[in-house]
């Protein structure tokens, strides 16, 4: 990967992007503009990558450096991209190493803009961004938040994780182009009274990893999102609170989906009656009677037509036995059985100790996965199971 750093105050954050890319196993070469070196030094990136970091067209007089760097790259990512570098790239200017390399590159390009709000919203910048998008560049951000000079607004560099997700997406196979994926994510909260609820520890990280992977592969993604859960950019979000609301949202969209991945940790029980006022501690311990919530996955299994149906199960013991029973009883194509209740795996963690059980019998044994790795494997399976070619190619990136 070739990472370009241009001269904005957010240049120091490029070091975090490099670290994340290296952790993911990428070979990274960094090119800095002269202005970028006023914010962060080339030696920083050399130390992080183990490779020389370049700043000038004239550093290697015996070779055409910008041509070599462009041809060696599988993907180019610019972090941050200033208004100046956006203009250069849009208009084909090449007066330094980074802009010359970008002009030579034929691989996917990911651009993470960062600048003050006025510069980002200026018609010239907006026009340049439109040109770059029309040529296939993936624009990540900018986000809204604190800016230089004590201001706040749009123009803040996207989070490093979001930039890395975009790089993964640029390299991912577009085997889900035009396919419609419906993903559930996060917990449900079943109210006891206006301030209390029955719920679980899910944060929605697994659902977010699945959605990001699906978008990167070209899918049209809808996420039915429980409270407090995270979600990546580029998806349609339907926010819900309760299991009943999640059921209604999923069933309303089920017929149009090519595949459904039920990653949400739906609460198994809800109070039979909801108090309309806050229950007071000094009134004594209230009796809360529970009843089962709707079994959304079982209902989808009964209603399914040609949709691919993937479920998730959170278990503390007898993972394989419980998983095989659920795979069969819910009429699933694939079930991911997660071990929960241990530190560092499952709810809120960045990894899952999980096994994949398939109706075909092509299982994956229990092991530790990063959530993004697990998402990629799940969608590999979904892609392989989907029949024919997508009918809607309007989402082709």
Q: Which of 69-73, 236-240, 340-344 has the lowest average pLDDT?
A: 340-344
What DSSP line would sit under 288-333, residue for residue? Answer: --EEEPP-HHHHHHHH-SS-EEEEEEEESS-HHHHHHHHHHHTT-S
pLDDT in tens, 96-114: 999 999 999 888 899 999 9
pLDDT in tens, 18-35: 998 888 788 899 999 999
Query: What does DSSP assign to residue 142?
Result: P
Average pLDDT (214-222) is 88
Q: Which of 200, 338, 352, 368 is catalytic?
A: 200
Paired with 354 in beta bridges are: 338, 367
Ramachandran bin of 208, using left for φ above 0, alpha for ψ from -120 to 50, beta for the remaining angles:
alpha
**How far is Cα of residue 156 from the mean position of the Cα atoms in its chain?**
19
pLDDT at 394 over 60: no
Give the highest mean pLDDT range of 18-22, 152-156, 162-166, 167-171: 18-22
Separation between Cα atoms, residue 230 and residue 212, nearest integer Å: 11
Separation between Cα atoms, residue 126 and residue 83, nearest integer Å: 10
Q: Which residue has the tokens 């070979």?
A: 27
Paired with 339 in beta bridges are: 315
Q: What is the mean pLDDT of the chain?
A: 87
How would residue 262 be classed by pLDDT, with cut points 50, 70 and 90?
very high
How would residue 345 be classed by pLDDT, with cut points 50, 70 and 90?
low
How would residue 395 be classed by pLDDT, with cut points 50, 70 and 90?
very low
Q: What percent of the chain has pLDDT over 70?
A: 94
Q: Which of 15-19, 97-101, 302-306, 392-396 has the lowest average pLDDT?
A: 392-396
Told to judge if 200 belongs to the known catalytic residues of this protein, a careful annotator would answer yes
Paired with 368 in beta bridges are: 353
Average pLDDT (333-349) is 74
Query: What does DSSP assign to residue 190?
Result: E
Q: Which domains does the chain have, with CATH numbers?
A: 2-171 (3.40.50.1950), 180-385 (3.40.50.10300)
For the chain, helix (H) and strand (E) counts, in that order, are: 13, 20
0.75 exceeded by the pTM? no
β-strand pairing of 109-113 with 236-239? unpaired
Query: What is residue 390's predicted lDDT score, i.e. its pLDDT?
Result: 43
How would residue 388 be classed by pLDDT, with cut points 50, 70 and 90?
low
């Amino acid at each position: 990967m070739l990472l370009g750093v241009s001269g904005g105050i957010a240049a120091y954050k490029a070091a975090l992007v490099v670290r994340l890319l290296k952790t993911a196993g990428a070979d990274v070469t960094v090119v800095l503009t002269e202005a970028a070196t006023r914010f962060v030094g080339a030696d920083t990136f050399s130390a992080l990558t183990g490779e020389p970091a370049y700043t000038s067209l004239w550093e290697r007089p015996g070779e055409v450096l910008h041509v070599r760097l462009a041809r060696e790259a599988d993907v180019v990512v610019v972090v941050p991209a200033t208004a100046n570098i956006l203009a250069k790239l849009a208009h084909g200017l090449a007066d330094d190493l980074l802009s010359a390399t970008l002009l030579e590159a034929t691989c996917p390009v990911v651009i993470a803009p960062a600048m003050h709000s006025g510069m980002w919203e200026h018609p010239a910048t907006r026009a340049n961004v439109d040109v770059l998008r029309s040529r296939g560049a993936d624009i990540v951000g900018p986000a809204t938040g604190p800016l230089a000079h004590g201001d706040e607004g749009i123009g803040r560099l996207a989070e490093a994780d979001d930039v890395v997700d975009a790089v993964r997406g640029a390299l991912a196979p577009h085997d889900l182009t035009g396919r419609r994926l419906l993903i559930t994510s996060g917990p449900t909260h079943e109210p006891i009274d206006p301030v209390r609820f029955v719920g679980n520890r899910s944060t929605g990280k697994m659902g977010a990893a699945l959605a990001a992977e699906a978008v990167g592969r070209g899918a049209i993604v809808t996420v039915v999102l429980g409270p407090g859960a995270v979600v990546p950019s580029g998806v349609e979000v339907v926010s819900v609170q309760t299991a009943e609301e999640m059921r209604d949202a999923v069933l309303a969209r089920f017929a149009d989906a090519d595949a459904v991945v039920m990653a949400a940790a739906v609460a198994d029980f809800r109070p039979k009656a909801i108090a309309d006022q806050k229950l007071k501690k000094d009134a004594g311990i209230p009796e809360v009677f529970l009843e089962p919530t709707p079994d959304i996955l079982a209902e989808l299994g009964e209603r399914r037509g040609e949709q691919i149906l993937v479920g998730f199960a959170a278990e503390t013991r007898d993972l394989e036995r419980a998983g095989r029973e659920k795979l069969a009883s819910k009429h699933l194509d694939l079930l991911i059985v997660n071990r929960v209740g241990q530190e560092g795996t499952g709810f809120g963690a960045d990894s899952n100790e999980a096994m994949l059980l398939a109706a075909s019998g092509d299982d994956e044994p229990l092991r530790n996965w990063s959530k993004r790795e697990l998402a990629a494997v799940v969608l590999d399976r979904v892609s392989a199971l989907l029949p024919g070619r997508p009918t809607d190619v309007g989402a082709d990136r």
